[in-house]
Amino acid sequence: MSGAVDAGDTAWMLAATALVLMMTPALGLFYAGLVRSKNTLNTYMMSIAAIALALVTWAVVGYSLAFDGHGALLGGLHHAFLHGVGFAPRAGTHIPQLVFFAFQATFCIITVALVSGAVVERMRFGAYLVFAALWSVLVYAVLAHWAFGGGWLQAHGTLDFAGGVPVEMGSGFSALAAALVVGARKDYGRQALLPHNAVYVLLGAGLLWFGWFGFNGGSGFGINREGVLAFSNTLITPACTLVVWFALDLLRERKVTAIGAATAIIVGCVAITPAGGYVSPGWAMALGALAALPSYAIIVWRPRTRVDETLDVLAAHGTAGFFGILFVGVFAQLAWNGAANGIAYGDARQLLWQALAALAGPAYAFTATFALLKLIGAAVPLRAAELEEAVGMDVTQHGEEAYASGEGAILVTTEAGVDGPRAVAQPEPA
Amino acid sequence: MKLVIGIVRPEKANDVLEALYRAEVRGVSMSRVQGHGGELDRVETYRGTTVKMGLSEKVRFEIAVSDDFVETTIAALCDGARTGEVGDGKIFVVPLERAVRIRTGETDHGAVTPVTK
């Protein structure tokens, strides 16, 4: 325990934590707009479920595994069930460990929600709940320990400001594995499967950007130079990504698209996530512009493959996170961050450690997620039946509709003695 | 001339269009309708309110064809829309008194025959 709790730092971190929590419902809205109307609620609920499950697993064991001690691969269990997590400052910060825990919890939550984008419109909700709970510990907490909690990457000097490894590459490459194990939607590649509400997508992206000021701006853990730099870079970078995305859209289709713009906001925010507190505002602008290129290319190419990584988590998060992590290795600047120089400012080793993180993070995320889903799949079916998928996940998984009209709805009261819920469109027994 | 009306599951609408196209039946209208055809009601719950949804979303195809094409059209509708579960829909064939193609003023058989050039 070093120093004392600082009121200013703590005030900002409380606000930042709330901002990051808001990103998960915002992501739910963003994802819900991108799917067909019959799957709106199920898609949104995958994000809400991430709040429920990842918070519990984080409090029980995830936080401890990520942030207790300096083991190379994994933390300890001293903080399990929040043991010893109280008002004393977290080492290396001037905020109570309880606030530090809460801030990090919101990161775990949104990362779990991000992965759901790969499996929407066909994964059984029950199987998803099991997956979300286990993934938050087995994949997220491990990667968070490597990058933030004193694990081998951080110990060797990998710079990852707000989660290029655990959050962005962790979700992106897990999403790829999840899409491969769960398999494509039954109509994928046969029918046009279009977003049903572009306004949700834009509003969700806008709210995500707003929340990202807490995500990146809070990752300095207080009012300090890194935090301020990351905050302003979070404004600068996505704007530059938007400009380049507009240009790419114009070149390709001669029209600037709204869903493209929403995607560009996410890509820009992701790219600056690992780099936020480490690169100058000028380089942050360059990062935003350049990061658009690989993500755009993958978003155009991926739907031509047989991989139904439905909402392009790999392109938006995995790819831009990968790019951002490497960018730090080149353009990190001691004069701005007080931590390290990249290769452009004379330290080649920094790029080496960034490159190692950019290989190890995705490799672990992909392999662990692939194995985890195979295991869950051996115990319970991962996918809804074809008929359920056709009718829509809202009705079949939740018994609700996003846009219920009420026409033809007959009120059921228990006094009237009406039968309990029955499956959809099952024939009467003969 | 006959008017073939096919009421099918919305999730099979694309398959029906595909089957009609393959059967070289051109000239189709479709609309979203709500209907009830004997399938079980689904139960939905919103807070304390539980309801039985008596009407299901369906898609209604209307296809005006010459007599020679009636069987082909029916076959294509069945082919595209059938799942084997209750709720696959119905086909109604009704006689058609007149048809006019507005652009050319062609009537009846000429009006329901696809433009070839």
Structural domains of chain B, with CATH? 2-112 (3.30.70.120)
- Across the beta sheet with B2-8, what order do the strands follow? B29-35, B56-65, B2-8, B89-95
Provide the mean pLDDT of chain A: 94
- Compare all CA atoms of chain A with the CA of B10 and give the residue at the minimum distance: A391
In this predicted model, what pLDDT tens digit does every residue of A37-58 receive, in sequence order?
999 999 999 999 999 999 999 9
Residues of chain A above pLDDT 90, percent:
90
- Please judge whether B44 and A418 are an interchain contact, meaning their C-beta atoms are less than 8 angstroms apart: no
C-alpha–C-alpha distance, residues A362 and A171, integer Å:
9
Residues of A in contact with B86 (CB under 8 A): 425-428
Per-residue confidence (pLDDT) for residue B26, from 0 to 100 = 85
* Residues contacting A121, CB < 8 A, separation 6+: A35, A36, A39, A42, A43, A185, A193, A310, A389, A393
The contact set of B with A (CB < 8 A) is 9, 11-12, 14, 34, 36, 39-46, 49-56, 83, 85-87
Residues of B in contact with A187 (CB under 8 A): 14
In this predicted model, what pLDDT tens digit does every residue of A302-331 receive, in sequence order?
999 999 999 999 999 999 999 999 999 999
Residues A268 and A237: beta-carbon distance below 8 Å: yes
For residue A418, pLDDT beyond 90 = no
Per-residue confidence (pLDDT) for residue A429, from 0 to 100 = 52
pLDDT band at A2 (very low <50, low <70, confident <90, very high): low
Residues of A in contact with B48 (CB under 8 A): none
For residue A428, pLDDT beyond 60 = no
pLDDT band at A424 (very low <50, low <70, confident <90, very high): very low
- Across the beta sheet with B49-53, what order do the strands follow? A409-412, B49-53, B42-46
Kind and range of the H or E run holding A26: helix A7-34
Crossing angle of helices A7-34 and A258-275, in 10° steps, is: 150
For residue A171, pLDDT beyond 90 = yes
* Closest-CA residue to A120 (of A386, A393, A368, A397): A393
Per-residue confidence (pLDDT) for residue B56, from 0 to 100 = 86
Per-residue confidence (pLDDT) for residue A426, from 0 to 100 = 47
Full pLDDT tens readout for chain B, 117 residues: 999 999 999 989 989 999 999 998 888 999 999 888 777 778 888 888 888 888 888 999 999 999 989 999 999 999 999 988 888 999 999 999 999 999 998 888 877 877 664
Cβ–Cβ contact A253 with B under 8 A: no
- Please judge whether B50 and A387 are an interchain contact, meaning their C-beta atoms are less than 8 angstroms apart: no
Question: What residue type is assigned to position B85 of the chain?
Answer: E
pLDDT band at A415 (very low <50, low <70, confident <90, very high): low
- Compare all CA atoms of chain A with the CA of B51 and give the residue at the minimum distance: A411
CA distance B38 to chain A (A): 9
C-alpha–C-alpha distance, residues A68 and A167, integer Å:
19
- How big is the CA angle at A92 (ends A86 and A94), to the nearest 5 degrees? 60
Per-residue confidence (pLDDT) for residue B115, from 0 to 100 = 67
The CA radius of gyration of chain A, in Å to the nearest whole number, is 22
* Closest-CA residue to A395 (of B6, B30, B11): B11
pLDDT band at A183 (very low <50, low <70, confident <90, very high): very high
For residue A107, pLDDT beyond 60 = yes
Crossing angle of helices A97-115 and A40-57, in 10° steps, is: 150
C-alpha–C-alpha distance, residues A161 and A172, integer Å:
18
User: Which of helix, strand or coil describes residue B2?
Assistant: strand
Query: Which of A390, A412, A413 faces B43 most closely, judged by CB atoms?
Result: A412
CA distances from A213 to A236, A269, A381 (A): 11, 9, 39
pTM of the model: 0.90
In this predicted model, what pLDDT tens digit does every residue of A380-395 receive, in sequence order?
999 999 989 998 999 9
Residue range A137-161: mean pLDDT, rounded: 96
Domain A7-379 in CATH: superfamily?
A: Ammonium transporter AmtB like domains (1.10.3430.10)
CA distances from A257 to A26, A31, A203 (A): 20, 17, 15
Query: Which of A401, A408, A422 faces B43 most closely, judged by CB atoms?
Result: A422
Residues A66 and A148: beta-carbon distance below 8 Å: yes
* Closest-CA residue to A285 (of A327, A318, A325): A327
